[in-house]
Amino acid sequence: MATNSIIEQKPPSQIWQILPVGQEIIFVVSNNTAVANETNVKFVAKVHISNSTYPDLSTTTDLIGTFKTTPNNAGVGIYNFRNIIENYVSADNMAANGSSYKGTTTSATARHPLHLIDKYSLNDDIVRYMAIEFSVEYKGATDTSGNSDVNTVKIQAGTERNSRVYVLFNGYVKETDVLTMGTGVGANDFGFDMSPFILSGASSTKKLLTNMPTNQYANIDDYGTMSFWDDAGDPLYRFTLVYYDSEDSLLGTDYILRSTANGAYDTYDVDSKKQIVHFGCFPGNLSNWASTFRTLVAAGTIQGGYYFVTAVDLSSDAMTQTYRINLNCPTLKGYEPIRLAWLNQWGCWDYYTFIKQSTKTISTKGTTYDQLDGTWNDSYYRIDSFKGGKKTFRVNATEKIKINTDFVSEDYNIIFEELINSPEVYVLEGYQTDATNTALNQYVKPVRLATSSFTRKTVANDKLIQYAFEIEKSKKLRTQSV
């Protein structure tokens, strides 16, 4: 007689149902009756992943694959779904529909890079939902009509057991990150606790989806976003921006309501797009639309100053740590600032502007051929001095840039380690006046980090901490074809 399978081990429940895909996603399943009494037993896992709402296990709409394993020596089936589910989440590079850039709403015909958004953008690709139906297949069953079917291996009705719904997102867990064990019947469950990042009610310790220090730096025209994970119980109400000059005098305040009109949403629900929301909070984003900030920039009062970024609830209580963005003073040496954007541990974006000396190097590699002198296909031979000799058929040019940080604190060691380990790195240009109908292709430029090693510096060992990196532009410099 068929009996239900048992999920013996799984990622922990409740708030830990949120799973960074870059970790071991372990499930252990048992069915002692089937293993003890049947032949050719296999455990079957039907994995359902949805890109909007919770998966429906009664249909095949969200079914992405069926995976089987045989019982091990302990009579259980062990699955690690990491390599499977990693393929179903990815980084957000473009803003979601409904966001805006300089007042123009993002749509299929007006696409905008995520980094440039005015206020908010929902996520498109970072979050997915997963649920799994486990069952057992084996030989020697009798079908519902009483007919013997001893030679057929098939999934046996009555052995099904469904997992809870898990929220997947494009993050990863480092070897040094602390994993949390379950309790009671789930004492063997383990996973990473994401609760410090889930905004829910008043808190001064919750974090946005970044490992950046709360004290950051940016130029007056730099773009960038911070991202947050909202919660149904007491969702974020708005962000508050408070501006100060270099003498710590209050200059003004902006309030950015979390709403559909501003690119986010009015009502929270389980739509995966609403779980992680991006917020454009750097000076370039504010220059897109914020009249208060624009006025301060035009008056020259905020240059060299700073402002605070705080998420607040409906009662105006802080829901997160307060992040301070310091505005770099223009360098008198004329160094060209280089701002990098890279994919961080939590699947969102971090930024740093390298304001010290940068050196650009262009290296070329060409393909050559020997050209005939003169004309050989005309009615007479003509000596053309520009013809003949070794010619270049094609030139491939690569641009490399060496960049240097200012002196930084030890707090920046973590994010520079993530930079050198990140699969996606871009050079991000600052606020500028756009030509009519521009494609906005001038803002985000893919690069590869040519620096392959990173030595963590400390005040004890190095006194002053400064880092140098080398980046290589991913796209070849174009030239004419011959």
**51-73: pLDDT as tens digits:** 989 999 999 999 999 999 999 99
pLDDT, residue 407, reads: 92
pLDDT at 394: 77
> What percentage of residues in the chain have a pLDDT greater than 90?
71
Output the pLDDT for position 148: 54
Indicate the SS3 state at residue 414: helix
More confident residue, 480 or 105: 105
The pLDDT confidence band at residue 15, using thresholds 50, 70 and 90, is low
Does any domain span residue 45?
yes
Q: Do the domain assignments include residue 30? A: yes
80 belongs to a structural domain: yes
If pLDDT is split at 50, 70 and 90, which confidence band does 1 have? low
Lookup: tokens for 259: 């709403």
Tokens of 349: 């974006």
Residue 212 lies in a domain: no
Segments forming the whole domain that contains residue 182: 6-90+125-193
> Which whole number is the average pLDDT over 308-332?
91
Q: Is residue 96 part of a domain?
A: no
Write the DSSP string, 373-440.
SS-SSSSS----TTS-EEEEEEEEEEEEEEEE--SB-GGGHHHHHHHHH-S-EEEE----PPPTT---
Residue at 44 is within a domain = yes
Counted domains in the chain: 1
Matching residue, tokens 């007006």: 110
- Look up the CATH number of the domain holding residue 46: 2.60.40
Domain annotation covers residue 39:
yes
How is residue 88 annotated by DSSP? G
pLDDT, mean of residues 216-233? 93
Q: pTM for the full model?
A: 0.91
